[in-house]
Amino acid sequence: MARHKKIQPPEEEEMTSNISSMIDCCFLLLIYFLVATSLVSEKKLDINIPSTPTAASSKKPKVDPGNIYVTSSGVVTWNKDLTVGEAYDASLVPGTPAYLQQRRMDSLVESLKLLKEQAQAVEADPVVMLHGSGKAPHQRIVDVMAALAEADIHSVGLSTTADE
């Protein structure tokens, strides 16, 4: 009997799935979405339209309101006497110095900041009205909104003027 060796069954190999590649995939997807969400970066300009005037709010404001006019060609004027933005040129390529120059309206920002200071001096909110021609390009209105945001004014009355 001793001659017969007991034959042992071969050792069973443990079946394990290699999950490292799956983790790699997960991380790749994660990085993709992280990058994608930051790439699609539309910015915003918050503006609040004043509600319908009530009896209490309809009395004369303490500071004269500032009026911004945008003509159909995109010329922007402050209180009708100071030109703060030249005519809109749609042919300019975004990102070029000339394009950036057209987007900036430094003199309008200065005027708006001055108006805000005057209003704060009498503890009132600055009142700004934007009169845009119906044919004025949307880009020019956004330029004005950007100037308002730069001057930290977030409430503006909007009106559409008859095309000149």
Partner 1 sequence: MAKKNARSQEEVKSEMDMSPMIDCCFLLLMFFIVNAAQITVSKDPSVNMPNAVSASEMKDANGCIVINVFADPEIMGAKNAKSLEKYNKTYNPGTIWGVADANQNSIGYNSGQMQELSDFVKKQKDSMESKGIKPEMIRLYLRGDADAPWSRSSGAIQAAAAAGVTNIVFGTLPAQ
Residues in touch with partner 1 (CB under 8 A): 19, 22-23, 26-27, 29-30, 33-34, 36-37, 40-51, 70, 90, 94-95, 99-100, 103-104, 132-143, 145-147, 149-150, 158, 160
Is the CB of 79 or the CB of 135 nearer to partner 1? 135
Minimum CB–partner distance for residue 159 and partner 1 (Å): 8
Closest CA to 126 of 107, 102, 154, 96: 154
Is the CB of 10 or the CB of 134 nearer to partner 1? 134
Minimum CB–partner distance for residue 122 and partner 1 (Å): 25
Minimum CB–partner distance for residue 37 and partner 1 (Å): 5
Contacting residues for 71 by C-beta, under 8 A, at least 6 apart: 77, 133, 136, 164
Is the CB of 8 or the CB of 122 nearer to partner 1? 8
C-alpha–C-alpha distance, residues 19 and 7, integer Å: 35
Minimum CB–partner distance for residue 12 and partner 1 (Å): 16
Burial of 47 (0-12, 13-18, 19+ CB in 10 A): middle
Query: Which run of H or E residues covers position 160?
Result: strand 157-161
Is the CB of 95 or the CB of 123 nearer to partner 1? 95
Is the CB of 1 or the CB of 20 nearer to partner 1? 20
Contacting residues for 60 by C-beta, under 8 A, at least 6 apart: none
